[in-house]
Structure 1
């Protein structure tokens, strides 16, 4: 039994949190130190026996089961049809489908405009529509298809590095490589060329912006497929025998740029995008203006006796 001088004056259990605080406030020097066998935590600890161990194990299993069920419920809600991710994916699919429909409608309307334009041209000048088609073909304004070959240029494999380190960097295809390949195919007799679906025309620019290659300001990604229409054997033979072939062979053996040829009988290249005609003005015919100019008076003949 504890001495009376160390009991609290308020009737609480000796050395409970409330009584200890009041005892310290009233008479700090009258509070005895706690003995090891009288520590409240030691008295409150449950006995260590088989029953308590089994109970603790069952509670741990129950807690783990509750956590697993909660995680599965959260994943189920995330994968539900009304989750934000599912709604966003559905919106993306609908937008893509709408874009495809609009693209088909655009192609249909362009065909109607071309037919109407040809009918108007034939009314005033027979053969004008054919000449316009030839001009558009020369300017890459119409799609073309036929036999040809595809030159594929791809970045090199990752370079070897020191033992135990990650793979090294790869040598990349540059805009200059594509320019030389395209010019070599033109010189070999290609009738039409496209790079990754971008038509190459007289004013097409192949440039680099950062780490991307741009064709008419459209970024492309490797591998780069240069499609050329024409005689397959002639194109490949002419390129291999020219400076272009020597250059391609050098970048392949020296820098590891991967090159390959793919022949086809039904290759196609798209039309090059052209600007929209918004206003046109007919030019005056210089011939009519010259015909309206009155001729100068000729000097009169005179005779003298």
Structure 2
């Protein structure tokens, strides 16, 4: 081994930590330059021959095989029946099935209530059933069908963007667009209106929550089909010639909102669910009004006694 040109004191090697710290505070040129054959790591490096290369290759293959097995195992667990995604999908399907069963049960109970109500009305005042039916029709409480039109509003197609930038933006139909369209159909003489199967009544609200449009608190997705019962030609002509038609034409030409009309002789709108009954009480049959339980008195003093007067007050 070639001796160093500049030895450090106390027998330190030129590259020990102590000698380097000492060299920082002393003349840096007094430390011998780094020589590859004198570096401590040169003796610790493994020899580069075919045996070491073979061992390295085998270790790389084993490591790659272990990584591949781990990835396949993770994918199998993600696709298994007891994976979180599968469990969530199963829960969603069960919830939808339960909701459908409850909806059928509600329709059955409403039919039973309607039958019992009709039976009671037949025993009461004449014409009560007809008046109740008129009130329910006016209050969106019954299913209606007949001729009419369907106004469909849909989001725009992806607008063109700069070359290489991918698909452009999409203009969405807003709750304000639906409100204007529905109000225009009402003004044109529509007898009943529904949006994507949701009946629109006097207390129905059309608004936005996040990116979804809500009709009577039910989230809807495009395309929005507005069904209106009435004279199809009159409805379409009146809407197109009104401010509603100008507004829809403007959003269609400026923002690409797609709209179309359909006419049909057989359209149907569902009934709006009635309010929920919170409290009710049954009247006892043996109870009598208070006026009938008063003690019998002479005809001339009965009215004054019932009103809280005295016999001296009567003429």
Decide: shared fold, TM above 0.5: yes
CA displacement 1:65-102 (0-9 Å, x = unmatched):
11101111122122222233322322222222112111
Matches within 5 A, 1:1-305: 29-30=10-11, 32=13, 37=37, 41-159=41-159, 170-208=170-208, 212-277=212-277, 278-279=279-280
**Cα gap change, 1:232 to 1:52, in 2 (>3 Å):** same
How far the C-alpha of 1:64 sits from its partner, in A, is 0.5
SS at match of 1:272: coil
**Cα gap change, 1:293 to 1:261, in 2 (>3 Å):** farther
How far the C-alpha of 1:38 sits from its partner, in A, is 6.2
Structure 1 segments, 4+ long, off by >6 Å, are: none
**Cα gap change, 1:80 to 1:268, in 2 (>3 Å):** same
How far the C-alpha of 1:260 sits from its partner, in A, is 0.9
SS at match of 2:130: helix
How far the C-alpha of 1:212 sits from its partner, in A, is 4.9
Q: How many corresponding residue pairs?
A: 260
Structure-1 separation of matches of 2:255 and 2:63: 60
Structure-2 separation of matches of 1:140 and 1:127: 20
Q: CA RMSD in A?
A: 3.5
Structure-2 separation of matches of 1:279 and 1:103: 23
Structure-2 separation of matches of 1:103 and 1:67: 50
Structure-2 separation of matches of 1:217 and 1:78: 35
Residues 187-196 or 157-166, more deviating: 157-166
SS at match of 1:225: strand
**Cα gap change, 1:210 to 1:120, in 2 (>3 Å):** same
**Cα gap change, 1:121 to 1:223, in 2 (>3 Å):** same
SS at match of 1:226: strand
Give the TM-score normalised by structure 2.
Answer: 0.68
How far the C-alpha of 1:170 sits from its partner, in A, is 4.8
Give the TM-score normalised by structure 1.
Answer: 0.70
